[in-house]
Amino acid sequence: MANWKKITRRSFLVFGAAVAGGAAFGAYKVAEVPENPLTPSADAIPLNPWVIINGDGITVIAPRAEMGQGISTTLAALVAEELDVDWQQVRVLHGPPAQAYYNAGFVDRMSNEPDFFLSQQPKSHNAILAAVPKIFSLQITGGSTGAIGGFVQMRLAGAGAREALKAAAAKRLGVAPETLKTEGGKVIGEKTFTYAELAAEAVDMVPADVELRDPSTWRFVGKAMPRLDMVAKSTGTETFGIDIWLPGMKFATVRMNPKRGGAMLGFDPGPALDMPGVDQVIGLGNGIAVIASNTWTAMQAAALVTVDWGPADYPADTAKIMAQIETAFRTEPDSRLRDDGDVEADLAKGEVIEAEYRIPFLAHASMEPWNATAWLKDDGSVEVWAGNQAPIMTRDAVAAALRIDADRVTLHTPVMGGGFGGRTDPVPAVLAARVAAALPGTPVKVTWSREEDMTQDYYRPAAIARITGRLEGGKPTALWGRTAAPSAARNAMARLIGFAPPGPDRGTVEGGFDQPYGLPHYRYDGHIADLSVPLGFWRSVGNSMNAFFLESFIDEMAHAAGADPLAFRLELMKDTHAPSAALLETVRDMSGWDSLKRPGFGRGVAFCYSFGTPVAQVLEVQDTEAGIKLTRAWIACDPGLAMDPSIIEAQMTGAMVYGLSAAVQGAINFADQQVVEQNYWDYDPLRMHTTPSFQVKILQNNGTFGHIGGVGEPGTPPAAPALANALYDLTGTRARELPLNKTFTFAV
């Protein structure tokens, strides 16, 4: 490939600028050992920021938040692997906001080079890049980085604790630590000590260096471990944010300006205050809150408040918004992260294939609506419970909103009833704190109605893509993809940290520019649309957009060439990235690809390499009297080192269901500057009877040993194109717009 040098230089400049623009820092801070944010008590002695020794086992402090992706179990398994405890002795909790819990895995998401290329390189990250997550205290769960960031960190935490406990026992026995062994939460020598007996003495004996165990000895990592949250989640005893219950608490809800970003010109509580059980109606500047004796009464009362909403500054409806996005094609590209060969010269040679694709805004629609609980104490400090993906940022935002110091904010991060990227913004915590400030001394839980959750979300961008390609003798020679969209990253970062990182916006083109297709001439451009609709990170981010564009177009090229679409992809990939090609062969064989083609059925294939993990999917559809049914799906993925096959299987399946739900019927539309869709009845995901059956195969060929790809997101991007391609196979109609129920009738 011709342009790696140029690309590398560009990515470095990007981060030079981002670092310089964001904060002043010194090299000393990078080298600092993180301060341990945990304080000891009689039955809980922390040996480092990640390991607490209890009387009856250990508590692992997970630096990443649990949203259902299973990360708390995997991180605990990494600690247990080195610490020699039985699985029944392991508990896991989320840590407080603290620099110690920065996400080292984010380094893997801070490059503008294609992932498939990076995975083949030795791990020699630029020192400045590697320090970025730590400097910025990126205690963030996202980007499918949890296992990557924890892989070394959590094992070191376990090994360090083990060696400290051995040192304490050795001192008691007057022997060398090497003569002792550890097993089942005990140090065993001439005498046997439980970890709990040794913990207090071990605190000061944590060694500077420890050696990690050989992977051949692993007992937990790589195995399907029973999830540590499974019993609680099967018995209704898990405490989600929405379940925080404190004596004497009040219940509230909010109603914010549906014209997003607009001001509130005035409001009249009207009959709301007369409802039995209503305590207060509060103005919040751009919305109102109602505090009541129960959440239902608060929601009923909020609907009775008369509000004069100021306008937003984006176009009035979906058609005008799409027209504005379209104008971005007339601007200079923001990025050209792939430019192999000479696309323009090749396309000039003759007949080209062209297509335009359109996709809508999407909401996250997690099952647990946004909520947070806050309690303003008599001394002016505040305690907040809020499911969130970024505790330090959330804590600081609460402090800023109440004009108090950050150390006056105690933030708890309960497990989340889904996230999918939709709990990055600190809005629930901040608004709950502001509502609680109106009722000092009383804890207040603020719950968003489903309608507020849907219409106040930060959406996946709508986008338009234009792709041109050329075939010669049935072989593809050139592809020029152009995506026009508002930038989710710039929109969100400007809101979250006050500035939008400069440089090319990877999110607009990822899933398009970075795929292992060995076309001789391959260019991919991003055009940023100027649009102020509030945007956020939606499971797999830009990959969810560009995989639909690119994989639909590759399919169109295959059909134009009269080729089998799976074989066509394989041919393009086999010399570029063997592990990806192997996945196409795997789904071909798993699905019995050739036998899927029969009357009344359609088959579609799609591929995407994202977050370090290539994924290939085949989907079968069937024409029935009730409409088109999604019948069977096959997924092959290669995350490199597979940390927990059961969790990976669940994530791959769930991520494809998430992508298919959006592809079939997901769309957020605007009318009069307000989101039209309100609830699950008009933003309806797949259900039990509309979900296909699944088979998943996990390969482990990708990268050098220790390469760990993400698993939470990579299953989403191929879902929409696999379905669109299957529908073309079934009907001969090529849908170039999502959702697909605009073009096809599905069985519901």
Instruction: Round to whole Å and give the CA distance between 405 and 238.
Output: 31
Q: Which is nearer to another protein, 180 or 662 (CB)?
A: 662
CA-based radius of gyration for the chain: 27
Query: 242, exposed or middle or buried, with CB in 10 Å at 0-12, 13-18, 19+?
Result: buried
| Sign of the four-CA dihedral 22, 23, 27, 31 | negative
Q: Which is nearer to another protein, 117 or 240 (CB)?
A: 240
Indicate whether 124 belongs to the interface with another protein (CB under 8 A). Answer: no
Q: Which of 231, 265, 348, 626 binds another protein (CB under 8 A)?
A: 231
Task: Please say whether the beta carbons of 565 and 554 come within 8 A.
Answer: yes
CB of 326 to another protein, least distance (A): 31
Task: For Cα atoms 126, 132, 138, give the angle at the middle one, nearest 5 degrees.
Answer: 145
CB of 630 to another protein, least distance (A): 12
Q: Which is nearer to another protein, 48 or 661 (CB)?
A: 661
Q: Which is nearer to another protein, 117 or 296 (CB)?
A: 296
CB of 565 to another protein, least distance (A): 25
Instruction: Round to whole Å and give the CA distance between 260 and 315.
Output: 11
Indicate whether 88 belongs to the interface with another protein (CB under 8 A). Answer: no
Q: Which of 213, 233, 408, 574 binds another protein (CB under 8 A)?
A: 233
Task: Please say whether the beta carbons of 388 and 394 come within 8 A.
Answer: yes
CB of 632 to another protein, least distance (A): 11
CB of 747 to another protein, least distance (A): 11
Q: Which is nearer to another protein, 115 or 368 (CB)?
A: 368
Q: Say which residues have a Cβ less than 8 Å from residue 254's Cβ, sequence separation at least 6.
A: 284, 287, 288, 289, 302, 431, 435, 446, 448, 452
Instruction: Round to whole Å and give the CA distance between 395 and 499.
Output: 19
CB of 679 to another protein, least distance (A): 5
Q: Which is nearer to another protein, 444 or 566 (CB)?
A: 444
Indicate whether 68 belongs to the interface with another protein (CB under 8 A). Answer: yes
Phi-psi region of 474 (alpha: psi -120 to 50; beta: other; left: phi over 0): left
Indicate whether 251 belongs to the interface with another protein (CB under 8 A). Answer: yes
| DSSP code, position 154 | H
CB of 512 to another protein, least distance (A): 25
Enumerate residues 573-592 that contact another protein by CB under 8 A.
none
Indicate whether 450 belongs to the interface with another protein (CB under 8 A). Answer: yes
Instruction: Round to whole Å and give the CA distance between 154 and 64.
Output: 11
Q: Which is nearer to another protein, 233 or 475 (CB)?
A: 233
Which two tokens mark 688?
A: 């039990």
Residue with tokens 């408040």: 305
Instruction: Round to whole Å and give the CA distance between 285 and 434.
Output: 11
SS3 sequence of 137-155: CCCCCCCCCHHHHHHHHHH
Indicate whether 242 belongs to the interface with another protein (CB under 8 A). Answer: yes
Segment interacting with another protein, rule: CB under 8 A, options 28-36, 97-105, 499-507, 647-655:
647-655
Amino acid at 294: N
Task: Please say whether the beta carbons of 418 and 67 come within 8 A.
Answer: yes
Q: Which is nearer to another protein, 485 or 662 (CB)?
A: 662
CB of 650 to another protein, least distance (A): 6
CB of 31 to another protein, least distance (A): 38
Q: Which is nearer to another protein, 681 or 705 (CB)?
A: 681
Which two tokens mark 410?
A: 């105690």
CB atoms within 10 A of CB 204: 10
Q: Which is nearer to another protein, 242 or 353 (CB)?
A: 242
Q: Which is nearer to another protein, 171 or 632 (CB)?
A: 632
CA distances, 610 to each of 547, 614, 748 (Å): 10, 6, 31
| Sign of the four-CA dihedral 526, 529, 530, 533 | negative
Task: Indicate the SS3 state at residue 675.
Answer: strand
Q: Say which residues have a Cβ less than 8 Å from residue 204's Cβ, sequence separation at least 6.
A: none
Total residues binding another protein (CB under 8 A): 68
CB of 195 to another protein, least distance (A): 24
Indicate whether 629 belongs to the interface with another protein (CB under 8 A). Answer: no
Segment interacting with another protein, rule: CB under 8 A, options 67-75, 82-90, 161-169, 352-360:
67-75
Query: 388, exposed or middle or buried, with CB in 10 Å at 0-12, 13-18, 19+?
Result: buried
Largest CA distance in the chain: 84
Indicate whether 645 belongs to the interface with another protein (CB under 8 A). Answer: no
Q: Which is nearer to another protein, 369 or 640 (CB)?
A: 369
Indicate whether 230 belongs to the interface with another protein (CB under 8 A). Answer: yes
Instruction: Round to whole Å and give the CA distance between 697 and 699.
Output: 6
Q: Which of 45, 53, 67, 584 binds another protein (CB under 8 A)?
A: 67
Task: Please say whether the beta carbons of 198 and 228 come within 8 A.
Answer: no
Q: Which of 12, 25, 240, 601 binds another protein (CB under 8 A)?
A: 240
Q: Which is nearer to another protein, 176 or 230 (CB)?
A: 230
Segment interacting with another protein, rule: CB under 8 A, options 26-34, 97-105, 445-453, 722-730:
445-453
Indicate whether 455 belongs to the interface with another protein (CB under 8 A). Answer: no
Q: Which of 132, 187, 228, 416 binds another protein (CB under 8 A)?
A: 416
Indicate whether 243 belongs to the interface with another protein (CB under 8 A). Answer: yes
In whole angstroms, what separates CA 134 from the centre of its chain? Answer: 20
Q: Which is nearer to another protein, 517 or 611 (CB)?
A: 611
Enumerate residues 649-708 that contact another protein by CB under 8 A.
650-651, 653-658, 661, 679-681, 684-691, 693-694
Instruction: Round to whole Å and give the CA distance between 188 and 545.
Output: 55
Q: Which is nearer to another protein, 19 or 606 (CB)?
A: 606
Residue with tokens 């305690």: 383
Which two tokens mark 276?
A: 């039995």
Indicate whether 369 belongs to the interface with another protein (CB under 8 A). Answer: yes
Q: Which is nearer to another protein, 148 or 242 (CB)?
A: 242
Nearest to 518 by CA among 565, 573, 584, 474: 573
Enumerate residues 275-334 that contact another protein by CB under 8 A.
276-277, 293-297, 299
| DSSP code, position 415 | B
| DSSP code, position 334 | S
CB of 659 to another protein, least distance (A): 9
Indicate whether 54 belongs to the interface with another protein (CB under 8 A). Answer: no
Q: What are the residues binding another protein (CB under 8 A)? A: 67-70, 224, 226-227, 229-240, 242-243, 245, 251, 276-277, 293-297, 299, 365-369, 415-420, 447, 449-450, 646, 650-651, 653-658, 661, 679-681, 684-691, 693-694
